[in-house]
A and B are shown apart, each in its own frame.
Chain A
Amino acid sequence: MFQITKRDELPTWQGVLIRIGSILAGVLLASFIIAILGFDPVKTFAALIGGSFGSSSALINTVTIAIPLAITALGLAIAFRMKFWNIGGEGQIIMGCVFATFVSHNMPASTPGVVLILLMGVAGFLGGAIWALIPGLFRVYLRTNETLFTLMMNYIALCIVQYLHFVLWRDPAAKGFPKIKAIQEQAHLPMLFGVHIGFIVAIVLGVLVFLLIRKTKLGFEIRVVGESAPTANYAGINVRQVMLTGVILSGGIVGLAGMVKLAGAVYTLSPSITGNAGFTAIVIAWLSNLSAPIMLVVSVLIAALEQGSQVIQIKLNVPSAVAAVIQGLILMSALGGEFFLRYRIVRRKREQSKSQKGDA
């Protein structure tokens, strides 16, 4: 009866309208549920927005939550440009943190903070890059499915960090509580305007990724490989090399996101270090149409939902589960809107659908 067909390019204003409309639809849907549960939707959303942007302390929390999301999304988007479906952000974040923690634990306490932070940054990049390169090599040389491969690598990374957490790196000074020793104190990222300087890293990376994709030869090659690998090959692009370079950059930046969160906000590696940034960032990358500057903005908006949902709990006594439902509905609607941006549903004529069946 119905058929989904790809849309032609939409005019910008129409695209913006669809996006705003879908988010509004999510807000309406959420309001409906909030009202059914006996809370005031207007008050709830006012508290949510006020709680994430309304004061400097709220804003600091929002930005702090946004930093790892933004950097992870920037990294993942490079892979997505090549149609390399890197679902392994979680694992790459974890491995970035594992490598960075290893460096911090093994450098003498006399190491100056700047040196230690830079070394940890390099280590974080390496950790993430290696974790992405493994499925990358398999994809390039053995044509395995990278979506599943990167996803599975998440679980391996999680098992590794659990092993470190409960056994190998367990801090004997923690009176039996399983935890890894915190990183050295001079490795904590400095603060600026009350936020750790990871936000500068995110902005700088945003600019770099934008320039990489738009202005460099490698960026051009990455885009061509993503559009069509045979075309790229025909044009004389070394597809394997481009893809592996892109994957290393992608995983490396995601690993760096982990290192930044570790050194900027949590200081201690734990199995829950990612806060699901590896998955949330996939949504951010797609909502932003893989555009680096938009990703920075969308990360802040998603972080605001997270921060605001704590505030509505505090102010209005909305249970955390309801706050989570609000977040989920808004995101689902926003992503649903993306679907309508790319596709449209047309009614198919009956005869056609019959013949289609006959073919099958």
Chain B
Amino acid sequence: MKKVLALVLTTVMLAGSMILAGGCSGTDTKATTEGTTTGGAETTAAGGAETTAASGDVLKVGILYISPKDDGGYSQAHAEGMAEAVAALGDKIQVFELENIDDTDAQATSAAIDNLVNEGCTLIFTTSYGYMEPTAAAAEKYPDVKFCHCSGYTRNDTNLDTYFGQIESARYLAGIVAGLTTKTNKLGYVAAFPIPECIRGINAYTLGAKSVNPDVTVSVVWTNTWFDMDAEKAAAESLLATGVDVMAQHQDSPAAITAAESAGAYAIGYDLTYAGAPKAYLTAPLWNWGTYYTYKIQQVLDGQWKVENYWGGMKEGVVKLDTLSSLVPDAAKTAVEAVQKDVTEQGNAYVFKGPIKDQTGAVKVKEGESLSYDDQMSMMWFVDGVIGEIPTT
């Protein structure tokens, strides 16, 4: 009996420490080492916190990240954008950040928002789609606080608006690069959820690739998570095993890029430049959130807050294609340059210009038309050339 008890105690201790140490988003252990360094650096970046707290008219800005703010991807892009806003607006604002808040855990999200409001934040950015309902609930609960939710569609008349950008324009250009780099004509795409946001990206990428190489196909694997380095890596490997030689992804970590490099394939990143895979990295559709955060915070500082549906593109500078790496063939460089101006000017209207057929060959967008904003936001079908399924309900 003693043995049993000792065994159970040990197990519980081990399990307890592991589980609780994780706060359990599973990937924390990996982030620990990197987390500390950037965390320290961020202190200086957002550093008004301690020193300027005294003055009353400082705007306190809160922001929630779904993954660690040094995830090398999505959240880091937001965090860098916020740091840029801090650099631009100086001590007029004070930023309070919360990272690693699970966007499927409504209790944690609401608590996080409560904590930010409690700290005095009157402008709060929630950067993941899943925060939508808790953010909307908080907007009702705190009418004096302004909320901006990234990538969702719920707005109210007073203190809740939304923001996102035409990242698909950059994905289209990345597709051109991939279409002219592939030798097997098999492109792979690791994506988080079968939701319009990801589907739009896959379609734009495929349209770009097919515009220069009609023979390519784009195979899609869903991971059903935004941030899980193991799942992202496994999904990429499953695609690479089928002969895919250019990997793209819509995830929060660069795991798919490193998987591609290990397999000797090329990769298109997302969110941020990735320097960790010099033998694979071609380019990436990038967010430049600093442009938006500076704009929106300035709006509030000026007393000009308005509820809007921000959807900036390459023209506004919120999204762009990363500098093409030396691995990109000249033909691809030329092809990107050829359309760069039009894509920048017209944004997603260029990308989703007809004729566009879906997987079954049916024409979804007619010649001379372009997919409307609403149709892009609710896009639940794949264009011709995509190999993959959208689960139906």
Contact = CB atoms under 8 A, between A and B. Distances in A.
Interface of A: 4, 6, 37-38, 51, 55, 57-58, 60-61, 64-65, 83, 85, 147, 162, 166-167, 170-172, 175-178, 182, 261, 265-268, 270-273, 275-276, 279-280, 282-283, 286, 306-307, 309-311, 313-315, 317-325, 327-329, 331-332, 335-336, 338-339, 342-343
Contacts of A37: 36, 39-40
Contacts of B96: 314-315
Given A268-B133, A317-B49, A335-B13, A176 B2 contact: no
Contacts of A171: 393
B98 A328 contact: no
Nearest to A331: B20
A261 B107 CA distance: 9
Interface stretch (B21-29, B279-287, B298-306): B21-29
Interface of B, helix, strand, loop or mixed by DSSP: helix
B113 to A, nearest CB: 10
B111 A61 contact: yes
A155 to B, nearest CB: 14
B380 to A, nearest CB: 5
A359 B216 CA distance: 70
B115 A314 contact: yes
A321 B36 contact: yes
B115 A51 contact: yes
Given A37-B40, A338-B9, A321 B16 contact: no
B6 A266 contact: no
Nearest to B10: A339
Given A4-B6, A323-B23, A283 B107 contact: no
Interface string B66-102: 0011100000000000000000000000001111101
Contacts of A339: 9, 13
B119 interface: yes
B23 A283 contact: no
A333 B251 CA distance: 37
A8 to B, nearest CB: 14
Contacts, number: 194
B140 to A, nearest CB: 13
Nearest to A227: B1
B42 to A, nearest CB: 6
A61 B116 CA distance: 12
19 contacts: A61-B111, A61-B115, A166-B391, A167-B393, A172-B393, A182-B133, A265-B107, A266-B105, A272-B102, A276-B22, A279-B15, A280-B20, A310-B111, A314-B96, A320-B23, A322-B36, A324-B32, A331-B16, A332-B21
A314 B119 contact: yes
Contact of B31 (A170, A271, A311, A321): A321
A251 B97 CA distance: 38
Interface residues of B, number: 71
B391 A6 contact: no
B49 A176 contact: no
B24 A276 contact: yes
A328 B17 contact: yes
Given A176-B196, A265-B110, A319-B99, A324 B28 contact: yes
Contacts of A265: 106-107, 110
Contacts of B119: 311, 314-315
A147 B8 contact: yes
B17 A335 contact: yes
Contacts of A147: 8, 11
B173 to A, nearest CB: 25
A287 to B, nearest CB: 9
B339 interface: no
Contact of B35 (A65, A167, A321): A321
A195 to B, nearest CB: 12
Contacts of A261: 107
Given A55-B118, A177-B129, 7 more contacts: A147-B11, A172-B393, A317-B43, A321-B32, A321-B39, A324-B23, A335-B13
A338 to B, nearest CB: 7
B136 to A, nearest CB: 12
Contacts of A57: 114-115, 117-118
B52 interface: no
B295 interface: no
Contact of A170 (B104, B130, B378, B393): B393
B387 interface: no
A38 B43 CA distance: 10
B21 A325 contact: yes
Interface hub of B35, B98, B99, B102 (most chain A Cβ within 10 A):
B35
Given A64-B107, A286-B12, A313-B98, A324 B22 contact: yes
B224 interface: yes
B16 A176 contact: no
Nearest to A336: B13
Interface hub of B12, B46, B224 (most chain A Cβ within 10 A):
B12
Contact of B199 (A58, A176, A343): A176
Contact of A314 (B70, B105, B116, B380): B116
B138 to A, nearest CB: 12
A313 B99 contact: yes
Contact of A267 (B24, B97, B106, B108): B106
Contacts of A64: 107, 111
